[in-house]
Amino acid sequence: MEISFVEEIESLRLGAGDTFRGEGILAVTKALLQSGVAYVGGYQGAPVSHLLDVMVQAREYMDELGVHVESCSNEASAAAMLAASINYPVRGAVTWKSIVGTNVAADALSNLSSAGVMGGALIVLGEDYGEGASVIQERSHAYALKSSMILLDPRPSLPHIVRMVEEGFALSEASNTPAMMELRIRACHVRGEFAASDNRAPAISTRALLAGPPEFIYDRLAHPPAIFRQEKLKVEVRLPAARRFIVERGLNELFGPAQGELGLIIQGGLHNNLVRALQILGLADPFGELRIPTFVLNVVHPLVPGEITQFCAGKRAVLVLEEGQPEYIEQEIATLLRRADLQVKLHGKDLLAMTGEYSVEVILRGLVGFLRQHAQSIDVQAGAAWLARIDGLRRDATAALGEHLPARPPTFCVGCPERPVFAALKLAEREVGKVHVSGDIGCHAFATFAPFSLGNSILGYGMSLASAAGVKNLMARRPVAIMGDGGFWHNGLLSGVTSTLLNKGDGVLVIMKNGYSSATGTQDLLSTPPEDVRRMMAGKSAAHGDTHIEKTLSGMGVGWLRTVNNYRVADVAKTLREAMTTTYKGLKVVIAEGECQLERQRRLRPLVAAQLKRGERVVRERFGVDEDVCTGDHSCVRLSGCPSLTVKPSSDPLKTDPVAHVNNSCVGCGLCGEVAHAAVLCPSFFKARIIQNPSAWDRFLARVRSTVIGWLQPA
């Protein structure tokens, strides 16, 4: 990968007496090594990408410790790695992105939790929930409940997160139960410091190999009849053991006064937002000291009945702050209170938002309602005024604009190789007619926004072709499925291609071959060219030349296969038209090849900087619009959507409409000119070559051209 984590890798070497400074997810990475982890796997995806990325790039140091690191093809393969902890006293950790990753891993997780573990097994989840999320709004909590797994939700503080990683392994071993630890986006990126400890080389590792497998014990298999005994062990042995450990180690925390008529019960990950809301109300000081008894659940499953009833005893009312739906924690607390016959008024979703992220504003609104109902003696005017100010700012903004704030949807990067494919698809639809487009997870999902507005469904990573199966026989025209090379290797090859070939399906699949798993951070794939090849190719696209995907599809029996250069819009449109109209019956695959522009720029910039430093001649291409020719029609903008292609006022007083304009963010991909050519638009685009450190010949040619142009221009 071109992203460098040199500083982060060095920080992993810190030991006792050193101070670790950095982000939350990097603190987790360091904590894994301090805990003696023997193997680490996972599938990349924000907000936990850095954990795996750093460890992959730190392979040399991992080898020194004897830690095995594996970048898995999907979350299911990552979860299956934890089988090592079923039979051996080794600690293992895997990571992936939130509920979508847990959905993929569900089969392996169910079998893992049934058999139980001998060594500690920790799953680090990037809980991608709320306004900043890029996935479906669900929670991982349901999996902890259904599979009887431990679920940690640590306070967003680096020392505490590190402690919970270490305790999470110990808790897993004490209860023979796999543990999940969810980290929200802000927790992953919160910055701070903690006192580092020495890393622990695992007793069983790549440097200290086992002589052989253990004695065969059938009960460690998740298979009948062992599964019936395992289910009893979950409830009668493992669950009580986990609860004892939670109490003995004090994993859940009490803040504020020991006694009080009111109380708050909160998920650990929401602690920082709660403190800020209480500060606004004057019920917390700048150091986080609270004036209301607050029970922080760093372990949200299993709950310890004795802890809950002890906290609630003697209180008139308790407010549960639980993010998302359903309200699993609130329901369980209500059951525990009823069984203990405690007549405390329980609030939660009745005063707080039913769905969405629990920001400071959301929590504050709930607290104001709770205190007005149960503590009239507490002045909540400061909080009410703060909320009124927020509401006023929103009203003022709406009044100033004359409407609500405009949406700012994400879009493709400047020069992205996927944008021209969708421009070509729009052009093909002009001749063929509108087609059903099955979208997919990845950068290409941005095509669902204007100006393309292409994509009738998104059913999961690599699932586009499979989701077209029910449509293809109901449409007059063949549906088109879009899939990235990341989605292809993750799930699309089996769930889409194999199923279509098995059922002799007749559809069109477009694979965006940009060389990396780009949407998750440009991690390497099976089809990514080796690093030495990328360096050798210098300014060329690293995606071109690799044929892993083509060979795989040909070997599986795909008979109609075309590879096109993304930036040749006319060729791509022609190929798509052919795929949609050919008499060939069967799966038709168009591989749209063009390297991720971000990765290409990361490789080029240091090369160009080095050339300039040496005083060498450097040539780069830029595109522009001749405003004398531009009519102001803006069809080019509607077909391209590139952020660098915008509009500006015309300098011609006779032109009332703004003209098209290419700004300085242009990377010279040439899409704007290609679209104009393919769509037979106006010839207003031009290509310019910018030469730095020009030679004497370059200077001579520039003078000649300037002179000739001067002769041709009117005075």
Output b/e per residue, 172-205; b: 16+ Cβ within 10 A: bbbbbbbbbbbbbbbbbbbebebebbebeebebb
Range with top average pLDDT, 345-354, 536-545, 589-598? 345-354
Residue 589 has pLDDT above 60, yes or no: yes
Amino acid 426: pLDDT: 92
| Helix boundaries (H) for 94-218 | 98-115, 141-147, 158-175, 185-189
Instruction: Determine the Cα–Cα distance for residues 72 and 178; give it in Å rounded to an integer.
Output: 19
**Residue predicted with more confidence, 179 or 638:** 179
Range 495-513 average pLDDT? 93
Same domain, 238 and 281: no
With cut-offs at 50, 70 and 90, classify the pLDDT of residue 2. Answer: very low
409 in a structural domain: no
Write the DSSP string, 325-365.
Answer: SS-HHHHHHHHHHHHTT---EEESTTTS-SSS---HHHHHH
**Residue predicted with more confidence, 582 or 631:** 582
**Residue predicted with more confidence, 306 or 647:** 306
605 in a structural domain: no
Instruction: Determine the Cα–Cα distance for residues 278 and 363; give it in Å rounded to an integer.
Output: 9
Rounded to the nearest integer, the mean pLDDT of the chain is 91
With cut-offs at 50, 70 and 90, classify the pLDDT of residue 129. Answer: confident
Same domain, 553 and 651: no
207 in a structural domain: no
Residues 323 and 172 sit within 8 Å (Cβ to Cβ)? no
Amino acid 4: pLDDT: 66
209 in a structural domain: no
Give residue 325's Cα distance to chain centre.
Answer: 21
Same domain, 424 and 333: no
Number of Cβ within 10 Å of residue 235's Cβ equals 10
Q: What is the DSSP letter of 233?
A: H
**Minimal CA–CA distance to 490: which of 449, 523, 468, 457?**
523
Q: Write the single-letter amino acid at 326.
A: P
Instruction: Determine the Cα–Cα distance for residues 351 and 496; give it in Å rounded to an integer.
Output: 45
With cut-offs at 50, 70 and 90, classify the pLDDT of residue 682. Answer: confident
Instruction: Determine the Cα–Cα distance for residues 419 and 22; give it in Å rounded to an integer.
Output: 35
Instruction: Determine the Cα–Cα distance for residues 411 and 564; give it in Å rounded to an integer.
Output: 23
203 in a structural domain: no
Amino acid 288: pLDDT: 86
**Minimal CA–CA distance to 257: which of 309, 283, 294?**
294
Lowest mean pLDDT among 160-164, 425-429, 633-637, 656-660: 633-637
Amino acid 624: pLDDT: 87
Lowest mean pLDDT among 138-147, 227-236, 237-246, 523-532: 523-532
Same domain, 520 and 392: no
Residue 299 has pLDDT above 60, yes or no: yes
Instruction: Determine the Cα–Cα distance for residues 407 and 298; give it in Å rounded to an integer.
Output: 36
Instruction: Determine the Cα–Cα distance for residues 668 and 606; give it in Å rounded to an integer.
Output: 17
Instruction: Determine the Cα–Cα distance for residues 293 and 302; give it in Å rounded to an integer.
Output: 21
pLDDT digits (tens, 9 = 90+) for 180-204: 999 998 899 999 999 999 999 999 9
In angstroms, the Cα distances linking 390 to 368, 397, 419, 497, 699 are 15, 11, 38, 51, 59
| Cβ-based neighbours of 557, under 8 Å, separated by 6 or more | 501
Residues 168 and 121 sit within 8 Å (Cβ to Cβ)? no
694 in a structural domain: yes
pLDDT digits (tens, 9 = 90+) for 59-82: 999 999 999 999 999 999 999 999
Residue 543 has pLDDT above 70, yes or no: no
- 150-152 and 121-127 strand pairing: unpaired
Instruction: Determine the Cα–Cα distance for residues 31 and 163; give it in Å rounded to an integer.
Output: 8
Same domain, 239 and 260: no
Instruction: Determine the Cα–Cα distance for residues 265 and 254; give it in Å rounded to an integer.
Output: 9
Instruction: Determine the Cα–Cα distance for residues 671 and 692; give it in Å rounded to an integer.
Output: 24
With cut-offs at 50, 70 and 90, classify the pLDDT of residue 545. Answer: low
Same domain, 267 and 394: yes
Residues 612 and 618 sit within 8 Å (Cβ to Cβ)? yes
Lowest mean pLDDT among 3-12, 151-160, 415-424, 489-498: 3-12
Residue 85 has pLDDT above 90, yes or no: yes
Amino acid 651: pLDDT: 86
Residues 618 and 643 sit within 8 Å (Cβ to Cβ)? no
Q: Is the peptide bond before 410 cis (omega within 30 degrees of 0)?
A: no
Amino acid 602: pLDDT: 83
Residue 532 has pLDDT above 70, yes or no: no
Q: Write the single-letter amino acid at 28.
A: V
The H or E element that residue 647 is part of is: strand 645-648
Same domain, 654 and 584: no
Residue 310 has pLDDT above 50, yes or no: yes
407 in a structural domain: no
Amino acid 182: pLDDT: 96
Same domain, 379 and 459: no
Same domain, 32 and 108: yes
207's tokens: 């440097």
Residue 690 belongs to domain with CATH number:
3.30.70.20
In angstroms, the Cα distances linking 172 to 93, 179, 604 are 11, 6, 46
**Residue predicted with more confidence, 241 or 710:** 241
Residue 678 has pLDDT above 80, yes or no: no
Same domain, 273 and 382: yes
Range 653-679 average pLDDT? 82
- Considering 570, 600, 630, which residue would you say is the last residue of a domain? 600
**Residue predicted with more confidence, 327 or 653:** 327
Q: Which domain holds residue 28?
A: 6-195+218-247
Residue 321 belongs to domain with CATH number:
3.40.50.920
Amino acid 631: pLDDT: 82
| Cβ-based neighbours of 101, under 8 Å, separated by 6 or more | 43, 45, 75, 125
Residue 1 has pLDDT above 50, yes or no: no
Q: Is 459 exposed, middle or buried (0-12, 13-18, 19+ CB in 10 A)?
A: middle
104's tokens: 């993929």
Amino acid 710: pLDDT: 87
Residue 223 belongs to domain with CATH number:
3.40.50.970
Number of Cβ within 10 Å of residue 602's Cβ equals 15
Range with top average pLDDT, 164-168, 427-431, 545-549, 668-672? 164-168
Residue recorded with tokens 């504020």:
256
With cut-offs at 50, 70 and 90, classify the pLDDT of residue 639. Answer: confident
HEC string of 448-505? HCCCCCCCCEECCCCCHHHHCCCCCCCCCCCCEEEEEHHHHHHHHHHHHHHHHHHCCC
pLDDT digits (tens, 9 = 90+) for 447-499: 999 888 999 999 989 999 999 988 888 888 999 999 999 999 999 999 999 99
Same domain, 375 and 481: no
CA dihedral 95, 100, 103, 105 (to 10 degrees): -30
**Which 3 state secondary structure label does DSSP give 64?**
helix
Residue recorded with tokens 């830690």:
67
Q: Write the single-letter amino acid at 490.
A: H
In angstroms, the Cα distances linking 656 to 631, 636, 637, 684 are 10, 18, 18, 18
Question: Long-range CB contacts (< 8 A, 24+ apart) of 448-455?
Answer: 449/409, 449/410, 449/411, 450/409, 450/641, 451/637, 451/638, 451/639, 451/640, 451/641, 452/422, 452/423, 452/425, 452/426, 452/641, 454/422, 454/425, 454/426, 455/482
229 in a structural domain: yes
Size of the chain in residues: 715
Same domain, 268 and 147: no
Amino acid 177: pLDDT: 97
How many independent structural domains does the chain possess?
A: 4
